[in-house]
C-alpha cells in the first residue's frame, strides 16, 4: 500500500509541474511530502533540475515563429478540402436538377418514340429513363469519392 502512495505522489508531482493538479490533490501531495522524506527529496531534486533546465539559454532563429506560422497555414490549406470545388459541385448539381426537371417531358417523349420505333416494352423504357437521370448522379458521386480518396492519400503520404 505504501508503494501505491509513493507512486501516486510521483504521478501528482509530475502533473503539478507540467499541467497543474486540482486543489484536493495538491493538498494531499503537500501533506505526503511533509511526511515522506524520500518523496520530498525527489520533489526537491525535480524542482532543482527543472530550474536548471529553464536557466539554459536557447538560441532560436528570429524568423522561427514566422516560418512556423507559414508551415501551419500551408498544412491547413493542404488538409482542408477546397471550398471552391465544393461550391462548384453544388452549383453543377443544382443546374443538373433544374435541367432534369425542365427537360423530363421532352426526354420522355424521345424515349417513347424510340420505344415505339424499336417496339420495346414499357418497363424497358422506364428503366432507360431512370438510368438517363441516374448515371450522371452516379458519376458525380464517383468523382467526389475519388477526390476524397486522393486527398486522404496525400494527407497520409505527407505524414509518413
- Please give the chain's pLDDT, 160 residues, in tens: 567 888 889 898 888 888 888 999 899 989 999 999 999 999 899 888 888 888 888 777 778 788 888 888 887 777 665 555 667 777 877 887 788 788 888 888 888 898 889 988 988 888 888 888 788 778 878 887 888 788 777 767 655 4
Q: How far, in Å, CA of 109 to CA of 102, rounded?
A: 13
3-state SS assignment for residue 128: helix
* 8 A C-beta contact, residue 134 and residue 112: no
pTM: 0.37
Which H or E run includes 37?
helix 37-55
From first CA to last CA, the distance across the chain in angstroms is 44
Q: What residue spans define the domains of the chain? A: 2-55, 71-159
Asked whether the CA dihedral 17, 22, 27, 33 is positive or negative, the reply is: negative
* 8 A C-beta contact, residue 18 and residue 50: no
Neighbouring C-beta atoms of residue 50, cutoff 10 Å: 12
Q: Cα Rg for the chain, rounded, in angstroms?
A: 34
Neighbouring C-beta atoms of residue 9, cutoff 10 Å: 22
In terms of residues, how long is the chain?
A: 160
Amino acid at each position: 500500500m505504501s508503494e501505491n502512495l509513493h507512486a501516486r505522489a510521483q504521478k501528482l508531482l509530475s502533473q503539478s509541474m507540467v499541467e497543474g493538479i486540482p486543489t484536493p490533490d495538491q493538498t494531499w501531495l503537500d501533506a505526503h511530502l511533509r511526511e515522506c522524506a524520500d518523496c520530498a527529496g525527489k520533489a526537491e531534486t525535480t524542482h532543482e533540475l527543472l530550474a536548471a533546465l529553464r536557466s539554459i539559454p536557447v538560441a532560436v532563429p528570429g524568423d522561427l515563429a514566422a516560418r512556423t506560422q507559414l508551415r501551419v497555414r500551408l498544412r491547413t490549406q493542404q488538409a482542408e478540402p477546397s471550398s471552391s470545388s465544393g461550391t462548384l459541385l453544388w452549383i453543377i448539381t443544382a443546374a443538373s436538377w433544374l435541367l432534369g426537371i425542365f427537360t423530363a417531358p421532352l426526354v420522355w417523349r424521345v424515349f417513347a418514340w424510340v420505344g415505339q420505333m424499336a417496339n420495346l416494352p414499357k418497363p424497358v423504357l422506364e428503366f432507360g429513363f431512370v438510368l438517363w437521370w441516374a448515371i450522371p448522379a452516379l458519376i458525380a458521386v464517383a468523382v467526389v469519392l475519388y477526390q476524397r480518396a486522393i486527398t486522404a492519400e496525400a494527407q497520409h503520404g505527407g505524414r509518413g
